[in-house]
Each structure stands twice: as C-alpha cells, then as structure tokens.
Amino acid sequence: MVPERTDTDEFKAQAAEFAAKLGDQKRVLVTTHISPDGDAVASMLSASEILRQLDSDAICCLPDRVPRRYDFLPGTDYIIETADLNDKDWDRILVVDSGNLSRLGDLANRISPETPLVNVDHHADNSRFGDLNVVYPEAASTTEILFDLIQTLYLSIPDNLATLIYAGLFTDTGGFRFSNTTERTFSIAARMVQHGANPSDIAEAVYASNSPTSMRLLGKALSSLELTENGCLATMTVEQGNSAEEMEDLADYGLAIKGVRAAALFRLEGESVRVSLRGRGAVNVSRVARRFGGGGHAKAAGFTVKGNYDKLRSQVIAALNEEIGR
C-alpha cells in the first residue's frame, strides 16, 4: 500500500522547511499564474491563511483581476494587482500553482534572485524554480498539497479555509469529473465539508452564476465550432472582450462531443492569442502547450502568444493531430 504523502519523511522535512522559511513574522508575497483558474485563486488564499496561522503576514497579488466567478472565495477582497504592489513590502515569496516563473507575467521581472522563494505546485512540468519546491504532480490540485501541509504542521481548518481547499479540488477536477479525481480527492473533500465547506454553494458559484455576457460568449464560441481530423479534434474561436466574464468550463465544450480526443479554444485578445487545450484518453496536451511556450496538465493546458491567428491555428491543429496520432 502506498503511504500517505504526509507520512513520508520527505514531506515532513518539506513541511518543516516551509514553516521555517515563511513562518515567524515574515512578510510573504503570495502569487500565482496569469489568467488564474479556481485552484490558483483558492491556493493563493489558502496559503495566506496558513501563513497567518504561522504568525506571518501575507500579501496576495495577482497579475490580473480576480475572475468574477471566484469573487465568492473568502479573502478575495484583500488581493491586489501587480500595478499596486510595493516592492519593499515583502521579504519572502510563495508561488502557488505555477509551473514556472514566466507564468507570473510582469511580476516575474520584479522578483529578486536574492529573495527566498518557496514553490508549491502540482504541475508535472514544474521547473523547480524555488529554494524549496513542494511539487507533487499526482495531487488533484495545489490546494490538496496545502491541505497536507496543514495536516503535517498541525494547523486548524476554519470554515473559510475549508471552502478554499474544497474549491480548489472542485475546480481542478472539473467538478470531480476529470481523470485526476481519486478516492483521496473525495476523502479530503468530505473532510472539508465537515469543517464547513458547502458543496452546493460552491458548485452554484462556479458553474451556475454566469452573467449574460458570459452566456453570449459561449454562444459565439459554439457557433465557431469546427471538427477536423475525422471528428477527433474540435476547435472554437472567440474575440475576447473581458476574460473576467468567461465561464469556468468554456474550453471544455469541444471535448464534450462524442469521439473528440482533443479540443482547442482560441481567444483573440488584441495582438495576442490565448489558447486553451483539452485532451482525452492518451492525448497529452501539455506537450503541445510546451511547444508554444506554455504548460499545464496532461488533460488541460494552455499558452498565450503574439502573432497571426490563422498561421497559429494551423500550427496548433498540426501539433494536436500529431499528439492524437501518437
């Protein structure tokens, strides 16, 4: 039987080092990747609560504004944007749910190599860029790893923290639908419910609180749907007006078609194109995303590039077709 992560000497040592580096009245900048998803926001806010229990101050900073669908998460009112950040406000850095520093956007350029940095993540392609790297790709979400730190450090789980950990698990497993959902996922989720997380409220906030604008965006995406490669590849394209309005699962709709093994959603944002990739079965879309400077998970990945949309679309389709044919 495989031991629990929290039972291993390696994780216990990492937890102790985490507390030593970031606890005891430190000023910690906590951040995550650009275009944050539910696990990214929930992990950042969970980490903030953990640091508070370790007697340190947390400054939560995002490269972008918090997407509206995550406004319900406890603590979002205290998140600041990169433009409002004072470089003298911190002496430690905690990066959560980001595979590499470049995913932090402009904030990456303001991080001094002399500042101690801790990296907590579950992406398989994580570049281990921290002085301490608590990276476990088998975890369903980064909040799962933060839960393990809480357990190992004997910290408490108030209802706000329970909501955050549950939300990270819920969103990164697609509402417990994706292949990264395990028995352990449900076990941790059940414990969070015992500590005050409300599954119905969280599900409604994530999947049933869409604005009229987001629903119209869905309509535009679906009207652009194209199937290629004998029905194995689905692509959609939208001209993005406001990413804060986007539905949680917009990129997943192409994969909802029977027989589709990979899907790509292209968002045209000025001179940039933001691409979300989804895969099924043996298809690993993170390999495709890395070819374009991005990253992510085997079944959900993405990247943003500047350039000609038509040329990029052809290149992405070719790369996905190659991956499907592996």
pTM summary value: 0.91
Domain 5-207 has CATH 3.40.190.10: no
Residue for token digits 């937890």? Answer: 15
Chain centre distance of CA 169: 10
pLDDT given for residue 1 in this prediction: 43
5-207 and 213-324 share one fold: no
Report pLDDT for 294.
87
* CATH for the stretch 213-324: 3.10.310.30
Closest CA to 18 of 149, 115, 123: 149
Please check whether residue 168 is in contact with residue 180, taking contact to mean a CB–CB distance below 8 angstroms.
no
Residue 220's pLDDT is what? 92
In this predicted structure, what is the pLDDT of residue 248? 56
Q: Coil, strand, or helix at residue 79?
A: coil
How many whole angstroms separate alpha carbon 73 and alpha carbon 212?
Answer: 21
DSSP string, 80-92: EEGGG--GGG-SE
User: Taking the alpha carbons of 266, 61, 130, 132 in that order, is the dihedral positive or negative?
Assistant: negative
CA angle 229, 235, 240 (to 5 degrees): 165
- DSSP three-state, residue 198: coil
Which tokens hold the place of 259?
Answer: 């027989």
DSSP 8-state secondary structure symbol assigned to residue 100: S
All structural domains of the chain with their residue ranges: 5-207, 213-324
Say what the pLDDT of residue 3 is: 63
Residue 265 has which token pair? 């959603």
As a whole number of angstroms, the distance between CA 76 and CA 95 comes to 17
pLDDT in tens, the chain (326 residues): 456 898 999 999 999 999 999 999 999 999 999 889 999 999 999 999 999 999 999 999 998 788 888 999 999 999 999 888 987 789 999 999 999 998 898 899 999 999 999 999 999 989 999 999 999 999 999 999 999 999 999 999 999 999 999 999 999 999 999 889 999 999 999 999 999 999 999 999 998 888 888 888 899 999 999 999 899 999 999 987 555 556 657 889 999 999 999 999 999 988 899 999 999 999 999 999 999 988 888 999 999 999 899 999 999 999 999 999 87
